[in-house]
Amino acid sequence: MVIVRYRYIGSNVQIAMEQLWIDMAAVLAAAAPLVIAAMGETLSERAGVINLSLDGTMLLAAMTGFAVAFTTQNLILGFAAAALVGALVAAVLGVFSLTLGQSQTAVGFVLALLCTDLSSFLGAPFVRLPGPAVPFMPIPGLADLPILGPILFRHDPVIYASFLLVPATAYLLYSTRLGLIVRALGERPAAVYARGIDVTRWRYAMLILGGALVGIAGAAFSLDLKQGWSYRHTFGSGWIVLAIVIFGGWRPLRVALGCYLFAALEIVATRSQSALPGIPTQMIQVAPFVFMILVLALVNLASSPTVARWIATLPSVWQRPLLVIVYRLRATAPAALGQPFERP
């Protein structure tokens, strides 16, 4: 009887561990579109431009990507069309804010509403239609590795691309001359201009590149994560991406961590629906969004000088660990973020 019981316990532990690997793989998959969009917005904001049109852009790109892929039966054309939509919306934002000097925040918000309505109107013929989807593509050899295989190497090309995009963005920003220029655009554009670099042109380039990545992220929803098209298909993901970029302190690795955290919260919320039948489904669905708001509030609080002064009044035994936590949470926006540049 003892042997049977130990075998039963061992079997339950194995099942639990396998479920954990599956859930971790699901988190990576669910976060992929967020990671792609967040890397695009990080590049844009590092260059000093806030793109508040993200939510509408992702919706319009998701619809366009699915419509083109459905019509042509070609996934590559679908993603290309979505990237083009994202780049065009970003270019429109650039014309009004960078060239005409209008408020980046106001123009971005209007574009978000406009693109949202356009996606609903133009996408009506494609609602609930079955269409092409990104194929599952495990990596031979690596997919059979214990633990790492199921987590990292049994996905599709979009998810693999999201893995590579994070270190690529970090390398671009911190290890290349281009990255130095981009960071300087967001911190001291006048110094960049003094060195003979066209600030507006480079900001356009980063804004359009970031917009293209946001468009690809929209197509990643309709052609991969949530296959098909429906009204409000991306469910506020653009606003979450904007919040995650702030949470991540405009640093690619930390931004990616925020994406995975939010995806994990969504997975937990989904699992909790059956475990907590007494709680309304709507409350469980919005819980990840509420948690992200609390995290953002904590990040902003950590950046406040008042918190540092309060920590200084505490006993020394508490000061060091609290200061470490505050330092890790602190997020400082690029100094020229959202500010128009006027040539001297």
- The CATH number of the domain holding residue 210 is 1.10.3470
Please tell me the distance from the alpha carbon of residue 147 to that of residue 17, in angstroms, as a whole number.
9
Distance from the first to the final alpha carbon of the chain: 85
341 domain residue, yes or no:
no
Q: Which residues of 6-22 are buried (b: 16+ CB within 10 A; e: fewer)?
A: eeeeeeeeeeeeeeebe
Q: Is 184 domain-assigned? A: yes
- Residue 343 belongs to a domain: no
Q: Are 238 and 78 in contact (CB under 8 A)?
A: no
The answer as to whether 286 is a domain residue is: yes
Q: Which residues contact 160 (CB under 8 A, 6 or more apart)?
A: 137, 139
Q: How many CB atoms are located within 10 Å of the residue 242 CB? A: 20
CA distances from 185 to 22, 171, 198, 234 (A): 42, 17, 10, 31
| 338 lies in some domain | no
Q: How far is CA 213 from the centre of its chain?
A: 10
Q: What is each CA distance from 82 to 2, 107, 264, 274, in whole angstroms?
A: 60, 21, 26, 36
- 57 part of a folded domain: yes
- For the chain, how many structural domains are there in total? 1
Phi, psi (deg, nearest 5) at residue 49: -120, 125
Residue 314 domain flag: yes
> Does a structural domain hold residue 344?
no
Amino acid at 59: L
Structure tokens at 211: 């917009």
Domain that holds residue 184: 2-329
How many whole angstroms separate alpha carbon 35 and alpha carbon 29? Answer: 10
Q: What is the dihedral of CA 256, 258, 262, 268, to 10 degrees?
A: 100
pLDDT digit of tens for each residue in the chain (344 aa)? 445 444 545 566 677 677 788 889 999 999 999 999 999 999 999 999 999 999 999 999 999 999 999 999 999 999 999 999 999 999 999 999 999 989 999 999 999 999 999 999 999 999 989 889 999 999 998 888 888 888 999 999 999 999 999 999 999 999 999 999 999 999 999 999 999 999 999 999 999 999 999 999 999 999 998 889 988 888 788 999 998 998 888 999 999 999 998 898 888 877 776 666 666 666 666 766 777 777 777 766 666 677 667 777 777 776 677 666 666 667 778 989 988 887 76
